[in-house]
Amino acid sequence: MEIARRAPSVGASRMTDQSRPPIAGGCRSAPILKQRGQREVFCGLTGIIWLHRKMQDAFFLVVGSRTCAHLLQSAAGVMIFAEPRFGTAILEESDLAGLNDAHAELDREVETLLSRRPDIRQLFLVGSCPSEVIKLDLNRAAERLTQAYAPKVRVLEYSGSGIETTFTQGEDACLAAMVPVLPKTEERNLVVVGALPDVVEDQMLGLLDGLGIENVQVLPARTIDADVQIGPNTVFALTQPFLGETHAAMLRRGARHLAAPFPLGEEGTTAWLSVIAKEFGVSDELFEKTTDAPRRRARQAVAQAAEALDGKSVFFFPDSQLEIPLARFLTRECGMSAIEVGMPYIHDAIHGPDLDLLPAGPQISEGQDVDLQLDRCREARPDLTVCGLGLANPLEAEGLSTKWAIELVFTPVHFYEQAGDLASLFARPLRRKAILGVAAE
């Protein structure tokens, strides 16, 4: 019975580093299960839902089919937007016949859009499966439109297509498209890459400021006027684990990556900050002075929220690409054990530091054959399953507890002050099940 097991207090001992499970070599060199079959994931277009809120002067124009438009509104449908800053230029039969006409049509739609919405300063043309398959050259379109609307509007393009991108990779493709047009600098600066909620971004900037690090910029910036610059003396840190292309684009501009575990949970945030602190020669005293109080708060909040998670098992379906850092957080800070950690794809330069910390044991898997993975999940009967929206209710109906992964990209979860919220997010389905009196098996 879950309620009986919850009773003894577990928080205190876990609040010290010593109690964390032994890493036993971590998972970096663990064999990876790769399967190929039906993938139950969103395509990269989904990223538009949070990116358009982050960049307040941007509009995302998907060049695609009715399916793309339907995906966006189904994924965004959890909210009612009176003024969405995204839309779909839906390809019709006639567009498929002649590509030149398609370009003329696109120009016409963009003109209508920009005249209706003078507040748009950045326009992203977003490629889709059909536009990729018919080889509609959006790069050419973006160049042409940039010339037509500069300097008022900057037009960029990227692909959010399902044949090339998975869910959060859409943000990666978007940011990667922005990197080449960032102004060049010779100055030493730190660029933090990854879309975060404004409140979290401000906390992060506060911490970096507390460490005495100057000249910090954030990509994506909230508006086009923000001064993000890049050059050979730039170092960059990622706040999201799905930014592989952006990572490569930054390296091409001469910037250097500060590889670190991701700032999820107290431990992840501390590790992430300390890599930056080391780079900038921050003294131990200053580091402790800046991080002590928020670290203590984070541990306390995690300990409270994690009571329901302690000793429980977790199974990750590949979805948001946050799975490895989250597994590290849940196993090392919340007392859970991971059975399987599925990722859409694994990128050693980016995920290595988190894999190093993830205690050996779980099956690491890349890609998906959803039916086979469901078989493994049912066999394992984890206490908590992290999966996409399409699978959550059916698994609940089979008696499993689930956390749907899309919430992780819509909720502030990064850095110290959100560490407790992150644990709560996972604890809530278990607490709810206990409240509703459904016996956990």
Partner 1 sequence: MKLTVWTYEGPPHVGAMRVATGMKGLHYVLHAPQGDTYADLLFTMIERRDHRPPVTYTTFQARDLGADTAGLFKDACQDAYDRFLPEAIIVGASCTAELIQDDPGGLAETMGLPIPVIPLELPSYQRKENFGADETFFQIVKHRAKPMEKTERVSCNIIGPTALGFRHRDDVAEITNLLYELGIEVNVTAPMGATPADIAKMGQAHFNVLLYPETGETAARHCERTFDQPYTKTIPIGAGATWDFIEEIRQLSGSTNEIDSDRLRQTWWSRSVDSTYLTGKRVFLFGDGTHVKAAARVARDEMGFEVVGMGCYNREYARDVRALAKEYGVEALITDDYLLVEKTIEELQPEMILGTQMERHIGKRLGIPCAVISAPVHVQDFPARYSPQMGFEGANVLFDTWIHPLVMGLEEHLLHMFREDFEFNDAAGPSHHGGHAPKKAASAPVIEEAPVNDNVIWLSDAERELKKIPFFVRGKARRNTESYANERGLNQISVDTLYEAKAHFAR
Written in H, E and C, the secondary structure of the chain is: CHHHHHCCCCHHHHCCHHHCCCCCCCCCCCCEEEEECCCCCCEHHHHHHHHHHHCCCEEEEEEECHHHHHHHHHHHCCCCCCCCCEEEEECCHHHHHCHHHHHHHHHHHHHHHHHHCCCCCEEEEEECHHHHHCCCCHHHHHHHHHHHHCCCCEEEEEECCCCCCECCHHHHHHHHHHHHHCCECCCCEEEEECCCCHHHHHHHHHHHHHCCCCCEEEECCCCCCCCCCECCCEEEEECCCCCHHHHHHHHHCCCEECCCCCCEHHHHHHHHHHHHHHHCCCCHHHHHHHHHHHHHHHHHHHHHHHHHCCCCEEEECCCCCCHHHHHHHHHHCCCCEEEEEEECCCCHHHHHHHHHHCCCCCEEEEEECHHHHHHHHHHHCCCEEEECHHHHHHHHHCCCCEEECCHHHHCCCECHHHHHHHHHHHHHHHHHHHHCCCCCC
Which residues make Cβ contacts (< 8 Å) with residue 43, sequence separation at least 6? 71, 129, 160, 161, 162, 165, 166, 167, 170
Among 13, 19, 29, 112, binds partner 1 (CB under 8 A): 112
Contacts of partner 1 in 244-273 (CB under 8 A)? none
Among 29, 81, 187, 348, binds partner 1 (CB under 8 A): 81
228 within 8 A of 250, measured Cβ to Cβ: no
Number of residues interacting with partner 1: please give it, by CB under 8 A.
Answer: 64
Asked if 166 touches partner 1 (CB under 8 A), the answer is yes
Decide if residue 75 touches partner 1 (CB under 8 A): yes
- Looking at the Cβ atoms of 39 and 299, the one nearer to partner 1 is 39
Q: Specify the stretch interacting with partner 1 by CB under 8 A; choose among 84-92, 183-191, 233-241, 420-428.
A: 84-92
Q: How far is the CB of 122 from partner 1 (least distance, A)?
A: 18
92 binds partner 1 (CB under 8 A): yes
Instruction: By CB under 8 A, tell whether 371 contacts partner 1.
Output: yes
CB of 67 to partner 1, least distance (A): 4
The correct pick among 134, 199, 349, 439 for binding partner 1 (CB under 8 A) is: 134
Interaction between residue 141 and partner 1 (CB under 8 A): no
- For residue 409, state whether it binds partner 1 (rule: CB under 8 A): no
Supply the minimum distance, in Å, between the C-beta of residue 402 and partner 1.
11
319 binds partner 1 (CB under 8 A): no
User: What residues between 18 and 37 interact with partner 1 by CB under 8 A?
Assistant: 37
**Residue 410 touching partner 1 (CB under 8 A):** no
Question: Which residue, 41 or 179, has its beta carbon nearer to partner 1?
Answer: 41
Asked if 38 touches partner 1 (CB under 8 A), the answer is yes
- Shortest spacing between CB 77 and partner 1, in angstroms: 6
Q: Which of 10, 27, 28, 44 is the binder for partner 1 (CB under 8 A)?
A: 44
In the complex, the smallest distance separating the C-beta of residue 96 from partner 1, rounded to whole angstroms, is 6
Min dist CB 162 to partner 1, Å, is 3
139 belongs to the binding site for partner 1 (CB under 8 A): no
Of 26, 87, 197, 210, the one binding partner 1 (CB under 8 A) is 87
* Residues that bind partner 1 in the complex, under the rule CB under 8 A: 37-46, 61, 63, 65-67, 69-71, 73-75, 77, 80-84, 86-93, 95-96, 102, 105-106, 108-109, 112-113, 129-130, 132-134, 161-164, 166, 371, 388-394, 396-397
